[in-house]
Amino acid sequence: MKRTLTLKWLSVLLIGLITAPLLLSVHDEQSYKISPRLKAVLADSEPETNVHVWIYFTDKGQTALPKFNSESLGISPEAVMRRQKKGTRHATDEADWPVETSYIELLRQAGVQIRHTSRWLNAVSAEVPARRILEITEWSFIQRIDRIQRMKRTKRIAETETKPMPLPLSKKSTLDYGASLAQLSLLKVPEVHQYGFAGQGVTIAVFDAGFDNLSHEVFSKMISEGRLLADSDFVNGDDDVSDEGDLGEGSHGTQTLSTMGGYKPGQLIGPAYKASFLLAKTENTESETPAEEDNWIAAIEWAERRGADIISSSLGYIQFDATCCNHYDSTDYNWQWMTGDSTRITQAANMAVARGVIVVNSAGNEGDATVVIKNTLGAPSDGDSVIAVGAVNTSGIRTSFSSVGPTTHGAIKPNVMATGSNVRAAGSTTNTSYVGVSGTSFACPLTAGICAMLLSAHPDLTPAQVRYALQATADRADNPDNHYGYGVVNAWDAINYFGQIDSGGILPDKFKLHQNSPNPFNPQTTIRYDVLRDGYVAIIVYNMLGQRVRTLYDGFRSQRRNYEVQWDGRDESGHRVASGVYLYRLTADGFSQTKRMLLVK
């Protein structure tokens, strides 16, 4: 049989595929590329029905050449620095290379509507007429085609307009937490704030169903200081994460962001109120529409390249939604898929951690397991490298809705617990309204904010070290289980786990440029500096003639000690410079200081 089929005969073959799947055996050369679960969907689909699929490629085509650097790949300097600090040997690898554009163009010409492109999976998510599926498998660069998993969202707990009474201020506290003090006191956050650790120098990406009230008063400081860095709507394909008449409703995102990074003294202060933020809308909340995994995966690749240090994802996906589709079988996602590395979302989360990103995810609101269902986790909280967070009340008692483990491979989940009952959050009705909310959705951002505090104090910690510090200092560390994990987070003990923090905290009393280390150096050295006041700073390398060689940093910095930047002995063009003495200069708010360093070869 010829490999090239006429459209007429292809149509006949496709009708056979749709009406009688056994005919696939006639065309095994192509049909083996179609997953069993997709074959089952095709059997229930009309020829013109659009099917949502992943299309995987065999290679990266002409892109698979050693011609890329981080800049050409759109990987931010912050992402490169994070990868290198966290022990990644190379700033980029093949997973960062773009998907071959000619493959994508051929798919478009064949009537395929591309939804998202995944570099990490070397695949595209797409909508394809059912009759086109087998035709696409004819192409040699197609590795396989699988269905996009459509899953039920984890339950949401109804909010309440009742406002908790504020607790008396701690004698040590200089911040007025208002009614948010209860949720933070359990986690020992105010004690850490007194030493100046509030997430400064850390970027957190927040994944949710949109953010409908960014004009709320709790976000004023964040926005005025330029710490809302970027946003992207992966549901509607634009850069506006508000409701704006699009699919999805964003009150939940407003609440989670405010819980973590809000700042309005007397009303609400989050643990990471000095962090910077990336916002991603990844979920369509329309009740009749199931969640689809490709939005979340596209978002985490975007956030990682933009330089996120932490992902806070208050979303979870528990199983195939049998009410939305015509087919269900054992290959669909369910509790048995919660192995730690099986669902695509979980695989993407683990890949981000491997690149130095801390991924924090709500465990889910599905309550206890049963005799039949052994865990109630929502992907990607099952991830081997993901910090899954369950919910307790302000007395440290687990809420009845908090999901439980273990993973099907026996790993303890959740990892830790945090306040998730009657949590103070920004409301959506006005710019000054507040609500009480419950769910692991709010335990998650509180924990992510504490992770940011740890990175403010110890910028070189890896994701594994942060996860271990949280677990080792939680209140059930000596006797963990699958209801509480390792217990309630203790921010104060966690931040001191890798060394007692300085009594002076991280708030310097002057600008200061430190001597680089090592010095002399080859091939790389680290430059540390202290910033007295929030503002724009620059670190620039010059040669002995006073000519600029490389700008290492030029942007906003919050007041903090021990910022650091690396220089690898290259100029702005990426070329290695000659050995010799070089100058490096800190400039900030009228201050300037210069030191010398020696590059040897």
pLDDT digits (tens, 9 = 90+) for 471-500: 999 999 999 999 999 999 999 999 998 877
pLDDT value at position 162? Answer: 40
Computed over every residue of the chain, the mean pLDDT equals 84
Q: How large is the average pLDDT for residues 537-553?
A: 95
Taking the C-alpha atoms of residue 394 and residue 161, their distance in angstroms, rounded to an integer, is 18
Q: Report CA-CA distances (Å) from 471 to 355, 474, 484, 547.
A: 21, 5, 11, 50
Cis amide bond preceding 380, omega within 30: yes
Closest Cα partner for 92 from 67, 117, 116, 57? 67
pLDDT value at position 464? Answer: 93
CATH code of the domain occupying 512-599: 2.60.40.4070
- Quick one: pLDDT band at residue 339, thresholds 50, 70, 90? confident
- Quick one: pLDDT band at residue 153, thresholds 50, 70, 90? low
Strand 535-542 and strand 548-557: pairing?
antiparallel
Strand 276-281 and strand 203-208: pairing?
parallel
Domain 7-60+99-148, what fold?
A: Alpha-Beta Plaits (3.30.70)
pLDDT value at position 160? Answer: 52
The least confident of 249-253, 494-498, 581-585 is 249-253
Question: Do 340 and 388 form a contact (C-beta atoms < 8 A)?
Answer: no
CATH code of the domain occupying 178-495: 3.40.50.200
pLDDT value at position 284? Answer: 77
pLDDT value at position 472? Answer: 95
Share of the chain above pLDDT 70, in %: 82
pLDDT value at position 195? Answer: 87
Q: CATH 3.30.70.80: which residues of the chain?
A: 7-60+99-148
Closest Cα partner for 211 from 283, 287, 279, 158? 279
Question: Do 536 and 509 form a contact (C-beta atoms < 8 A)?
Answer: no
Taking the C-alpha atoms of residue 50 and residue 113, their distance in angstroms, rounded to an integer, is 9
Q: CATH 3.40.50.200: which residues of the chain?
A: 178-495
DSSP symbol at 489: -
- Quick one: pLDDT band at residue 557, thresholds 50, 70, 90? confident
Q: How large is the average pLDDT for residues 92-101?
A: 89
Closest Cα partner for 121 from 355, 340, 345? 345
Share of the chain above pLDDT 90, in %: 56
Question: Do 488 and 417 form a contact (C-beta atoms < 8 A)?
Answer: yes
pLDDT value at position 81? Answer: 82
